[in-house]
Amino acid sequence: MSEVPPEKPSPDLLKWAIRGAALIGVAAVLYVIVAASIKPRQDADLRDFRRASLAKLDVPAMPRPAPTAAFTDAAGKSMTLADFKGQVVVVNLWASWCAPCKIEMPTLAALQAAYLTQPVQIVAISVDRDSDLNLATADIARNAPLKLYRDPSYKVAFSLEPRAKGFPTTIVYDKHGRERARLEGEADWSSKEARGLVEALLAER
């Protein structure tokens, strides 16, 4: 008794099978791309840098919104922190009559110099009165590449949540304009801890 050879699949059936497999492959690739694009943003744990020179660093449990209060640049142009969105921003509230402010200012200048080609801005906001503008200007001139920003009415300090308790106060914002850390008092902002903090925020999406 002879065996009957198995029936060969038709060419049309093979074509549809190949097309189906290709479509499944494309769908799988698209799923991976979409899943990666909607993956929740993972914030860096900045508490890791709360040691040595940044021992007094306060890292809020949840990021805080930046104040909308206006301040001015050296030319008198009004601006807000929203103007720096997309960059890591280190806001330093200081005054020419504040000894700790003047001690730490060279370290802020060194931090800015280390990131001149990257999206990092040190925004040193002086709360000096208009009558002391020459003193504030001289202090900044000695600490290039820092630029002078002014808020003699303390609007930014009072708009912070919670309010700044004194000077210097330094607030660190991520590229989305959210407060991620704060330090009240003098610190060494040229330290490896400070640079590590900035690097961590730069690495975030």
Pairing of strands 120-126, 178-184: unpaired
Cα Dmax for the chain: 115
What is the dihedral sign for C-alpha 77, 80, 85, 90?
positive
pLDDT at 38 over 50: no
pLDDT given for residue 116 in this prediction: 97
Q: Exposed e or buried b for every residue in 45-75, given b needs 16+ CB within 10 A?
A: ebeebbeebbeebebeeebbebbebbbeeee
Report the C-alpha gap between 161 and 97 in whole angstroms: 25
Task: Say if CB 65 and CB 178 are below 8 A apart.
Answer: yes
Mean pLDDT of the region 102-126 = 98
Q: How confident is the model at residue 36 (pLDDT cuts 50, 70, 90)?
A: very low
| pLDDT tens digits, one per residue of 132-182 | 999 999 999 999 999 999 999 999 999 999 999 999 999 999 999 999 999
Is 26 a residue whose pLDDT tops 50? no
Q: Is the pLDDT of residue 2 over 70?
A: no
Average pLDDT over residues 193-203: 97
Is the pLDDT assigned to residue 25 strictly greater than 60? no
Q: Please tell me the distance from the alpha carbon of residue 87 to that of residue 120, in angstroms, as a whole number.
A: 5
Residues 84-113: what's their mean pLDDT?
Answer: 98
The confidence score (pLDDT) of residue 44 equals 87
Q: Which residue has the higher pLDDT, 37 or 128?
A: 128
Residues 120-126: what's their mean pLDDT? Answer: 98
Provide the pLDDT for residue 10. 59
What integer pLDDT is reported at residue 22 of this predicted model?
A: 55
How far apart CA 174 and CA 138 sit, in angstroms, is 29
Residue 123 has pLDDT above 70, yes or no: yes
Split at pLDDT 50, 70, 90, the class of 35 is: very low
Give the CA count within 13 Å in the CB-facing half-sphere of 112: 20
Handedness of CA 34, 46, 66, 198 (dihedral sign): negative
Q: Quick one: pLDDT at residue 152?
A: 98
Q: Which helix (H) or strand (E) holds 26?
A: helix 11-37
Summarize the confidence of residues 26-55 as an average pLDDT: 67
- Domain ranges in the chain are 9-39, 46-203
Count other Cβ atoms within 10 Å, centred on residue 23.
10
Return the residue matching tokens 């308790």: 165
Tens digits of per-residue pLDDT, 41-92?
578 899 999 999 999 999 999 999 999 999 999 999 999 999 999 999 999 9
CATH-assigned architecture of domain 46-203: 3-Layer(aba) Sandwich (3.40)
